[in-house]
Chain A
Amino acid sequence: GAGVSQSPSNKVTEKGKDVELRCDPISGHTALYWYRQSLGQGLEFLIYFQGNSAPDKSGLPSDRFSAERTGGSVSTLTIQRTQQEDSAVYLCASSFQRGAWETQYFGPGTRLLVL
């Protein structure tokens, strides 16, 4: 079946501009996660959604970052007034449900470069 998809695959933007990154989770998965991987770093948790529950935003690095999930499916991560340190690969993952022992499956990522 179809895996997690993300768009765009690459994004180059100028400092100060806003960007939107999109994630389509695996059909039937109720939990959705955003991570990012900066150059030479491991994966850093950003935010996750579970059904209609309030999202866990504890990993968002600043108030310039926000995310929403419409209809319990597609999610959009928005970065406002981008900075050069926002350059990274942004990865989306989904799992059948939130909680322990649930495997998360990742999309291919969006490579963001802020000039």
Chain B
Amino acid sequence: DQQVKQNSPSLSVQEGRISILNCDYTNSMFDYFLWYKKYPAEGPTFLISISSIKDKNEDGRFTVFLNKSAKHLSLHIVPSQPGDSAVYFCAAENQGGKLIFGQGTELSVKP
């Protein structure tokens, strides 16, 4: 039972355009959501997070949107840069502190 789903395994975007990565979850008890970025042969790097009391959090080029009624969150990267090419993981944290990860979306930003 996949509680956190990233339905797009890959995404290709032109440099300078917006990248939108999507994530859906099933458990309404999740109250904190995170995005991690992972390069090959490295561990995931924390990117941005959002708590359930907010619907938007912005950090530079990265913005995360949370739609609790739809159990959906998205990560927007604008403008996209070639260095953003990586695998992006969405994760949900329950009150016990355990992270449940999606399968990841591989973003490719083409010059």
Using a CB–CB cutoff of 8 Å, the interface residues on chain A facing chain B are 4, 6, 31, 33, 35, 41-45, 48, 50, 56, 59, 91, 93, 95, 98-109, 111
Using a CB–CB cutoff of 8 Å, the interface residues on chain B facing chain A are 4, 6, 31-32, 34, 36, 41-46, 49, 51, 89, 91, 93-104
Chain B residue nearest in CB terms to A95: B97
Given A41-B103, A103-B34, verify A91-B97 contact (CB < 8 Å): no
Smallest Cβ distance from B27 to chain A, in angstroms?
A: 14
A106 to B94 alpha-carbon distance, docked (Å): 18
Given A100-B31, A101-B51, verify A106-B44 contact (CB < 8 Å): yes
Residues of B within 8 Å of A91, CB to CB, are: 43-44
A106 to B93 alpha-carbon distance, docked (Å): 15
Smallest Cβ distance from A109 to chain B, in angstroms?
A: 5
Residues of B within 8 Å of A99, CB to CB, are: 95-97
